[in-house]
Structure 1
Amino acid sequence: MKKIINLSFLLGMIFVLYSCMKMEDAYKEYVVPDGITYPQKPVNAKAYSGDGRVVLKWKKGNDPSIVKAVVSWNNKEQEREFDIDGNKKDVEIVLDNLEEKNYSFIITTLDSKGNSSIPVELNSVVYGDSYKSSIYNRSLNIAYLDNEKLVLEWNTADISNGLKYTELYYLNKQGEKQTLKIDAYSNENNIITDYRVGTEISYKSFFIPDTTCVDVFETSQEANIPLTIIDRSGWSITASSYEETGQTGYGGAEPERVLDGLIENTPNAGLVPTYWHSRHSGDSPGYPHWLAVDMKKKINIKRVVLQCRNDPNCTTGYPFSNFSILGSNDGIEWTNLETYDIYSRSNTAPQYYPVDVKESYSHFKIIMNQAYDNGKYAHLAELSILGIEQE
């Protein structure tokens, strides 16, 4: 029995000594053998970058004696002193009006007797005019109208400077200002169905240069008027061939049909074919086929717009699978601009094909290079252009 009591007493003493050691560990960073007291240093201290400023945050810890904090930088040539609220567990200090550069900050806490804690060092960066001059709006490749729907095609965002998103501003059909947020990582086209046709759109981009930055930087707004289909009323057109009399029995399928704005046989169209068709009676030429347009003025072409037949006699859509676009300023010498495969053979909606050239042309030609299914004939319902008229 005596041995059991002695063993229990020994274990109890070990526990007391261990507890004392733990308490001593908790305070030994504040007390040294000669009696000097060190207030508790900042706990979990972090620095956050910003626009002309840095924000410092830390946990105050368990030491109730702390009343101030001193932050120094530039080899202690500069420093600021801040009061610490003893009732708050979290400390937040803002150092503003700072020069744009990298910094190393030294933080010490003080008690009411002027004793200083062990210093804590934090590194951060301040952004300013130099950074602001390096950021630009995400570039808008093209904005255009597709049957009163606004289509926006953005170029790939350069995220190296911290681009996060772009905001687009536009008026809806009721005249109310709307905002659309486009993530920097999104490369999808934006299609807006409630855009008020004829009104200006604008946009600007927003940047966060690093993961610790507390400020969002924004660019100046850019304005844009969406492109619409170029007026075709003065255009003239020729073709490699066309069906003069035989097409559906209504009097031919001349190339002018692709400029009439109609895509099917309707009473409004006078029950005539509203598409061009290559000649298929008598001498029937095969591929390639072409249509050449004189626009009468120079156009910086941005999109070529095709639309296939949509009538009971044509259920397959486009007869040609590949085509080229050429430009000219005299209708004689031609420059190849782009070559494409048809996006979707059976899609009867307008299909938009991009033209990436800086030059402007008064003439353009579409050459249909090859057919689906080794076919011989070609036809097309509508041919138009999105672009910018030159003065």
Structure 2
Amino acid sequence: MEKIWNKIRMSGLALLALVIGASCAKMDDYKRFVESGEISYTGKIDSVVVFSGDGRVYVQGLFMSDPKVASCRIYWNNMKDSVAVPVVRTNTVDTLKQFITLPENLYNFRIHTFDALGNRSVAVYATGQAYGQAYKTSLNNRLIISAIADQADNVTVMWRDVDKTLGAIGTEITYTDKEGKAQLVRTPVSEKQSILKNYKPKTEFTYQTLYIPDTLCIDTFAAAAEKHSYAYKINRSNWLAFADSYEATGQLPNGGSPYFVLDDNPNTYWHTKHSSGTSPFPHWLSFDMKKAVKVDMIELTSRHDYVTADFRDFLIEGRNSEAEPWTTYGSYNLPDAQGPQQFLISGSPTVRYIRIFQLNGGGEPHSHLAEFAVYGSEVN
């Protein structure tokens, strides 16, 4: 047993001699490295954050407990460029706050602190982005579905969804109210409509979508401003109305002529032939608006007491002369519902003549409609 313990002691001593020898070698190397004198390091900066910006970055950090720190230098471009920042120490934690103007690029920064003798700290590294023209030209405004004025001159702007990958946060609208005052409305990207109250008729509004490209960005960017007109209910007082057929009903004077859909009275209505010579679908109503109109939307109001018995699927068509063929702008479905229902027309075509071509109905061969209106703007 004693022999075993002697072997263990001998093995331990041998291992200890190896460790001491290696340590001595390391110390010899260190001594050779510092033969010219002892190295003195200044306390480094802590908690460095580089905020991105428009043609600039903002560098922030903390000078902690080392009272010897007298200055700081921020390097970039492989230390070819730098900026010196004086440091005035207080009895508390002091903060580095430095703007640096830079061309658009992603930058790697190296930061050293220095004492009054020029001794520097170990390096602290950070990354930051300066944005510029390349980013700005990639920005687009949120697309408008419609901008419709009501009878109280409040304009409702409906928005399409927007790509959020570039940092879109909202859209800013400026317009003039009826008192001649400039108004500003901001709508976040999460909302689908903006309300412009007390809007001055026959004026345009200006809009631009706002962007913050990343969570550390200190600046807000905007797509190029655009102007947009609103749509209003077109005056129908001199329109001409036509239909494939019409016939008075037993409830006169409430039913019959296609002109009933232009009288602003939802209790009157157009009705196709129904008592003699009844014809099946398709049916149609067409209108000569007497001048060219940029059409954004049509509004239909069903006969309130027979919403399930009028037409269902229909086309919106237009043309600019009676010699032209009809152009179809879209197919739609009329729900069984009371009150005005609105149908947007993609592309907002400019036409003088407009038609709703009714393809089928709710089980009856005849058709009827209480009101027809167009929202858009008259073309001079």
So what's the TM-score if we normalise by structure 1? Answer: 0.79
**1:367-386 CA-partner distances (Å, limit 9, x unpaired):** 222222x1232111111212
Cα offset for 1:290? 0.9
Q: Which residue of 2 aligns with 1:320?
A: 311
Give the deviation of 1:301 after TM superposition: 2.2
Match of 1:151 in 2: 156
CA distance in 2, matches of 1:357, 1:263: 29
Report the alpha carbon displacement of residue 175 of structure 1 after superposing the two structures with TM.
5.5
CA–CA separation in structure 1 for the residues paired with 2:332 and 2:118: 78
* Partner SS for 2:259: helix
User: 1: distance between equivalents of 2:199 and 2:183?
Assistant: 9
> Alpha carbons of 1:74 and 1:385: their partners in 2 closer, same or farther (altered >3 Å)?
same
Deviations 1:58-109 (A, max 9, x none): 2212212111101111122211111123125242332333222221111000
The whole-number CA distance in structure 1 between the counterparts of 2:242 and 2:135 is 55
Give the structure 1 partner of residue 344 of structure 2.
Answer: 354
Opposite residue 201 of structure 1, the aligned amino acid is F
- Equivalenced residues, count: 343
Partner of 2:165: 160
Q: Is the 8 A contact 1:294 1:331 kept in 2?
A: no
Runs of at least 5 residues in structure 1 that lack an aligned partner in the other structure: 1-31, 265-273
In 2, Cα distance between equivalents of 1:204 and 1:124: 27
Cα distance in 1, alignment partners of residues 207 and 108 from structure 2 = 37
Indicate if the aligned counterparts of 2:185 and 2:194 stay in contact, CA closer than 8 A. no
Alignment deviations for residues 30-60 of structure 1 (CA, whole Å, 9 cap, x no partner) = xx99532211112121211111211111221
Task: Identify the residue that residue 283 of structure 2 maps to in structure 1.
Answer: 289
Residue of structure 2 in register with 1:345 after alignment: 336
* Mapped partners of 1:214, 1:293: distance in 2: 55
1:293 partner letter: F
Q: What aligned pairs does 1:123-138 form with structure 2 within 5 A after superposition?
A: 123-138=127-142
Aligned to 1:379: 368
Task: Using the TM superposition, give the Cα deviation of residue 254 of structure 1 relative to its aligned residue in structure 2, in angstroms.
Answer: 0.5
Quick one: distance in 2 between partners of 1:120 and 1:251?
Answer: 84
CA distance in 2, matches of 1:318, 1:252: 14
Task: Give the RMSD, CA atoms, in angstroms.
Answer: 2.6
Task: State yes or no: 1:217 paired with 2:221.
Answer: yes
Tell me the SS of whatever aligns to 2:260: helix
Deviation, structure 1 residue 249:
3.2
> Equivalents in 1 of 2:133, 2:254: separation in Å?
69
TM-score using structure 2 length: 0.81
Deviation sequence 1:112-152 (CA, Å, 0-9, x none)? 22110001121211112332233233232321113334221
1:84–1:91 CA contact under 8 A, matched in 2: no
1:107 partnered with 2:97: no
Aligned to 1:363: 353
Q: Secondary structure at the match of 1:153?
A: strand
Q: How does 1:128-207 map to 2 (within 5 A)?
A: 128-148=132-152, 149-171=154-176, 177-186=182-191, 188-192=192-196, 194-207=198-211
Structure 2 spans left out of the alignment, 5+ residues: 1-33
Aligned amino acid, residue 162 of structure 2: A
Percent of matched pairs sharing the same residue:
30
Q: How far apart are residue 298 of structure 1 and its match? A: 3.0
What is aligned with 2:298?
A: 304
SS in 2 for 1:258: helix
SS, match of residue 366 in structure 2 = coil
Contact 2:231–2:296 (8 Å) recurs in 1: no
Contact 2:146 2:344 in 1 (8 A): no
User: Which amino acid is 1:339 matched to?
Assistant: S
Q: Distance in 1 between matches of 2:221 and 2:309?
A: 48
1: CA distance, partners of 2:238 / 2:118: 88
Per-residue CA deviations over 1:317-360 (Å, capped at 9, x if unaligned) read 67222211122333462222211112x42231x22111113653
Letter in 1 for 2:140: Y
CA distance in 2, matches of 1:356, 1:217: 29
Letter in structure 2 aligned against 1:156:
D
The CA distance in 2 between the partners of 1:318 and 1:64, in whole Å, is: 88
